[in-house]
């Protein structure tokens, strides 16, 4: 079934018998627009203020799950008392939770070696750069020309399959990015469930994201929660959609209005 538009006035999606939400957000493409250079992404003051109001309401908890490193995503959001997941949830921090996936640590040395090899092989390509993280790295090629995009992807896969044959990695494809991560049974969906289970409270989970990596969370939460994709698609497992990241502020205002009404009922 194709997703329904999330901000219709007659929407009944928050009419379930809950009085507490757990809001999960992707970062790039969801809370902020995607930039050619991810270092230029920053949370707008209006979105940050609205997130703070929701977090302080007592009726909702918030988590930001990102492919970025944990220190990077915390620095860019800068809201105390919420949950942060870096490396697609391999690292999580927040109230009562400090977590690093135990199996992922064993991959770090080899992934660092792959990083050095790919960085050397792609260093002369204009518009291509690598984002190094604690447990993984991401090759960005959005700003490269069309011919170099294809060549850089080829180099990435060739090095992994030839120089590091026999090693188990997970390649995560995104929007003009390739990420090399530990080959462990973990993703944003499992990270979201882990947080909910660790806190052991009666929340209605709501997940908002825009990328292929967010589909794991849509699948994990759609039976018992609300899943929302940024951008309409017939191929998503999300139940609802927002037209684009520019609607996230209105969505947050709608959430805040709902929990305010709950408080006076």
Choice among 26, 28, 72, 210 that is catalytic? 26
Provide the CB-side half-sphere exposure for 79 (13 A, CA): 23
At 13 the pLDDT is 67
Contacts 24+ apart (CB under 8 A), 152-158: 152/122, 152/125, 152/128, 153/178, 155/118, 155/121, 155/122, 156/118, 156/122
At 228 the pLDDT is 96
Quote the DSSP letter at residue 209: E
Q: What residue spans in the chain does CATH classification 3.30.70.1020 cover? A: 104-182
Active site residue 26: yes
At 168 the pLDDT is 86
Q: How does DSSP assign 112-145, residue by residue?
A: HHHHHHHHHHHTTSTT-EEEE-SS-EEEE-TTS-
Q: What residue spans in the chain does CATH classification 3.40.50.1000 cover? A: 4-8+19-101+186-264
Q: Phi and psi at residue 259, in whole multiples of 5°?
A: -70, -25
Per-residue pLDDT of the chain (265 residues; tens, 9 = 90+): 789 998 877 666 666 566 689 999 999 999 999 888 888 889 999 999 999 999 999 899 999 999 999 999 999 999 999 999 999 999 999 999 999 999 998 899 999 999 999 999 999 999 999 999 989 999 999 999 989 999 999 999 999 999 998 888 999 988 889 999 999 999 999 999 999 999 988 889 999 999 999 999 999 998 889 999 999 998 999 999 999 999 999 999 999 988 887 766 6
CATH number of 4-8+19-101+186-264: 3.40.50.1000
SS3 assignment, position 82? coil
At 111 the pLDDT is 94
The CATH class of 104-182 is: alpha beta
| Burial (CB count <10 Å: 0-12, 13-18, 19+), residue 114 | buried
At 35 the pLDDT is 85
Alpha-carbon distances of 22 from 9, 94, 247, rounded to whole Å: 22, 13, 19
At 92 the pLDDT is 97
At 234 the pLDDT is 87
């Amino acid at each position: 079934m194709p997703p329904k538009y999330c901000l219709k006035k007659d929407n009944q999606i928050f009419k379930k018998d809950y009085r507490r939400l757990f809001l999960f957000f992707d970062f790039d493409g969801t809370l902020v627009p995607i930039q050619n250079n991810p270092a230029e992404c920053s949370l707008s003051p209006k979105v940050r203020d609205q997130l703070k109001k929701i977090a302080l309401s007592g009726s909702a908890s918030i988590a930001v799950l990102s492919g970025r490193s944990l220190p990077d995503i915390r620095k860019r959001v800068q809201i105390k008392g919420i949950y942060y997941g870096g490396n697609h949830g391999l690292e999580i921090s927040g109230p009562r939770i400090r977590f690093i996936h135990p199996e992922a640590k064993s991959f770090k040395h080899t992934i660092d070696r792959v990083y050095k090899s790919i960085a050397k092989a792609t260093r002369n390509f204009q518009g291509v750069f690598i984002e190094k993280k604690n447990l993984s790295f991401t090759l960005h090629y959005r700003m490269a020309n069309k011919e170099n995009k294809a060549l850089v992807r080829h180099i990435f896969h060739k090095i992994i399959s030839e120089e590091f044959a026999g090693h188990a990695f997970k390649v995560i494809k995104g929007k003009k990015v390739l990420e090399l991560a530990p080959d462990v049974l973990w993703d944003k969906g499992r990270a979201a469930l882990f947080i909910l289970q660790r806190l052991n409270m009666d929340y209605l989970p709501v997940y908002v994201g825009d990328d292929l990596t967010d589909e794991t969370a849509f699948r994990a939460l759609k039976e018992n929660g609300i899943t929302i994709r940024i951008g309409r698609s017939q191929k998503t497992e999300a139940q609802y959609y927002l037209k684009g990241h520019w609607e996230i502020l209105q969505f947050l205002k709608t959430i805040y209005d709902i929990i305010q009404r709950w408080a006076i009922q």
